[in-house]
Structure 1
Amino acid sequence: MSLIKPFAGLRPAPGRATEVVAPPYDVMSAAEARAMVEGRPWSFLHISRAEVDLPADTDPYDAAVYDQARANLAAMLEAGVLVRDPSPRYYVYRLTLGGHRQTGLVVTASVEAYRTHRIQRHELTRPVKEDDRVRQIEALNAQTGPVFLVHPDVPAIDRAIEEASRGAPEVVTKAGDGVDHELWSVTDPDAIARLTAAFEALPALYIADGHHRCAAAARVSAARRGHAVSASTGASADYFLAVTFPAAEVQILAYNRVIRDLNGLEPNAFLDRLAAAFRVARSADPVVPAGHGEFGLYLDGRWYRLTIDPAAIPREDPVGRLDVSLLQERLIGPILGITDPRRDERIDFVGGVRGLDGLTERVDSGEMRLALTLYPTAIEDLIAVAEAGALMPPKSTWFEPKLADGLVSHVLD
């Protein structure tokens, strides 16, 4: 079973992409999704967030939501808004946001490779979210949300993708998120064979984002096979929709924290406790950490710079040396009493794309008591954690730009 395969994608009919493509389903609230579909009857959110077409109090995991998604997909097919390509192919996918550009390949990737850790993971999954993705795939008989993969930088792959993206793209659009999305089809059999062989030579691919979609695809594959290990027959359910990018091109932004209270401490006592674990200095300006081991604290309208002694960072531990781990082990856990940030409602996470205003506004409003800024996790650290068979702490990475939903989907034959 090859690591990747071409496939006949389901995508917007020519000229319809702008009406269809949408931001990924899991980066918005239900209210935001409802606002986004106003005046957009063909938005892919009618499939990926089908509760927008049901009463506002509908549970997003209600069976009616999946039934609605199935009906909406059927309507888009009947109207000719979505069409399926006539033959298997790869797709070159380029995203541009401001001065950042990354170009990857849309593929179907092997469930067997995921099961045997050739496609390596770094994150735990939650059963409720896995169940949601399983039900969505089964309702649509399709995978509509691509998994974001990263592959090692290989000149031969870079050249093949560059060659395939020469000339005008078939699709140029935005997904309502300010990102330019461009798509090319790779239909030449020799180009397909070269790409397949080049990826087959790789030791591993790495999941950047989409662990629940991978896990759900594996469950669907196993269910359709009737046992836990897929046979090597190449059935479409034995592969999952993915986009893979070279490691050097992906962009990770900081994933900052906001905390609801000081765990019963007065501000001065809290700062005294910090001084035992960090070098603490007032800052006249907002603190955007410039390197590992440096953090910003916003409390009572003031900014502080927190710094760890470099000698105290466990450089040989791929998880322990992460800034998210250092902050959790030195401050969030022992001082603020939040030992399980996955479940504790006193902590929330703010992706770097929302900027410092997204932090300070929540503190100044009184909703949260303090904010913490971090230096972004490096892609090399993510790969090191995955290769060690370890797990990243929750909310360690925020990848930007985000992949669009609805640009290409994978139908299960």
Structure 2
Amino acid sequence: MANVLPFKAVRPTRDKVGLVATRAYQFYDQEGRDFRMSQNPFSFLHIINPGYKYDKEVLGKERFKLVKNRYQEFKEEGILFQEELPAYYIYKIVDREQNSYVGIIASACVNDYKNDCIKKHENTIEHRETLFKQYLETVGFNAEAVLITYPENDTLTTIIDTIMTQRAEYEFTTTYRDTHYLWPVTNAVQVRKIKDSFSKIDTLYIADGHHRSASSALLSKDHQQQESFQHFMSFLIPESDLRIYEFNRLIKDLNGLTKESFLIALDGYFRIENRGSVLYKPSKKHHFNMYLDGEYYSLYLRHSLREFHSPLDKLDTQILCETILEPILKIKDVRNDRRIDYVDGRKEISAIKDRVDSGEYAVAFGMLPVTIEELKEIADAGLKMPPKSTYIEPKLRSGITIYEF
């Protein structure tokens, strides 16, 4: 059973939420961050990029301490305040393509994560876990929820739909033309129904935020007597609301092979068709597209190689590793090898073509997105996908709700 609880969020005042909320730090380049901070004194970027105040890049523990200082200043100035009562938060995002995502921001339990009631599908990097744990411990808050998905639940759907008939506490549109809505839920009957509904769900699945949840689990070990450290902020949405995109792979070189010898090596694994200038995008699992030397190719995994022994074996990102990246191109560490880059499937294929045509990369590969069924099957088997197997939406804004330890 899942232990999903309300919590006393720290959040912006209604009049400033649209100014405070920001995309995750890594989505901006330095120029973009600096421009937004110069124009908006209320941006959450001022908290997470505190060196801007001193026109200096600040790193490590010094940065963490300054983040805490900026955060306290935002609270002291009344930009942020803490909820008086524990609450769940119904959160809705409508993106510029009119895709809608609706779920519940709540506190998930570290023990559920440790006991595999909350399941993972992706490996994490130990030093990143440790660094983020140190960050959380120093600053004393977490502003980025872990995205968790749950199976369709009629009771939760009814509660959410009922609450959304009321005026939202927050309603604002970003410069990216995404519209965000938030409804705090403090009514005792509704709170109990939400808690009870989650307690009847056997398994939840992390969709995005593996490092954040892993860091929270590490942090909980050092603060076992403090209840607030035994939970982490999550955004829980039904499986039908997830949108999963593929990651295309871009490779710097052909590992010393000529174009002809590379195609011959591929022939051992795939039936290859040259599509010329006609864009090919796969329509079936185990079919791949390739762009090489100004031409598109379709690659169909040979039927003799389609004997799979685990859910991971039949995953297309794993097949690409085992048939092309490792044996032919000698890319064994797909997480850290500088010869490989990734472009999420929301981007136009022309952007990938341009990067190959420019000579920056030698070849590009694409495939169909991972399905939610594949994600769950791999997590249920205790297996982990290769890095960059999924690009999952929604992506939440930072600073709308904050979990304070």
Q: Do both proteins adopt the same fold according to a TM-score greater than 0.5, normalized to the shorter chain?
A: yes
- The 8 Å contact of residues 2 and 202 in structure 2, kept in 1 or not, is answered as no
In the other structure, the counterpart of 1:14 is 14
In the other structure, the counterpart of 1:281 is 273
Distance (Å, rounded) in 2 between the aligned partners of 1:295 and 1:53: 48
In the other structure, the counterpart of 1:364 is 357
In the other structure, the counterpart of 1:140 is 139
Q: Could you say if the C-alpha distance between residues 299 and 171 of structure 1 is closer, same or farther in structure 2, counting changes exceeding 3 Å?
A: same
Partner residue of 2:70 out of 66, 69, 72: 72
Q: Unmatched 5+ residue regions in structure 1?
A: 226-230
In the other structure, the counterpart of 2:366 is 373
Say which SS state the counterpart of residue 149 (structure 1) adopts. Answer: strand
- The 8 Å contact of residues 175 and 404 in structure 1, kept in 2 or not, is answered as no
Aligned residues: 403
In the other structure, the counterpart of 2:154 is 155
Which one is further off, 68-77 or 387-396?
68-77
Q: Unmatched 5+ residue regions in structure 2?
A: none
Displacement, 1:173? 2.4
Distance (Å, rounded) in 2 between the aligned partners of 1:271 and 1:293: 18
Which one is further off, 331-340 or 93-102?
93-102
- The 8 Å contact of residues 4 and 109 in structure 1, kept in 2 or not, is answered as yes
In the other structure, the counterpart of 2:44 is 44
Q: What do residues 117-171 of structure 1 show as CA deviations (whole Å, max 9, x unaligned)? A: 1111112211222123212212221111100001111222222222222222221
Q: What do residues 238-283 of structure 1 show as CA deviations (whole Å, max 9, x unaligned)? A: 1100001101110001111110100000111111211221121122
Structural RMSD (CA): 2.0
In the other structure, the counterpart of 1:84 is 82
Distance (Å, rounded) in 1 between the aligned partners of 2:54 and 2:378: 41
Say which SS state the counterpart of residue 5 (structure 1) adopts. Answer: coil
1:351 aligns to 2:332 (yes or no): no
Counterpart of 2:223, as a letter, is R
1:248 aligns to 2:240 (yes or no): yes
Displacement, 1:354? 2.6
In the other structure, the counterpart of 1:228 is none
Q: What do residues 193-228 of structure 1 show as CA deviations (whole Å, max 9, x unaligned)? A: 011001001111111111111111112221112xxx
Q: Could you say if the C-alpha distance between residues 9 and 338 of structure 1 is closer, same or farther in structure 2, counting changes exceeding 3 Å?
A: same
Counterpart of 1:45, as a letter, is L
Counterpart of 1:238, as a letter, is Q
1:334 aligns to 2:327 (yes or no): yes
- The 8 Å contact of residues 91 and 106 in structure 1, kept in 2 or not, is answered as yes
In the other structure, the counterpart of 1:258 is 250
Which one is further off, 245-254 or 37-46?
37-46
Q: Could you say if the C-alpha distance between residues 279 and 245 of structure 1 is closer, same or farther in structure 2, counting changes exceeding 3 Å?
A: same
1:404 aligns to 2:397 (yes or no): yes
Q: Could you say if the C-alpha distance between residues 215 and 319 of structure 1 is closer, same or farther in structure 2, counting changes exceeding 3 Å?
A: same
Partner residue of 1:236 out of 221, 224, 228: 228
- Percent identity, please: 30
Q: What do residues 316-362 of structure 1 show as CA deviations (whole Å, max 9, x unaligned)? A: 62111111011111111111111110121111111122332332232
Displacement, 1:288? 2.5
Distance (Å, rounded) in 1 between the aligned partners of 2:281 and 2:394: 20
Q: Could you say if the C-alpha distance between residues 36 and 352 of structure 1 is closer, same or farther in structure 2, counting changes exceeding 3 Å?
A: farther
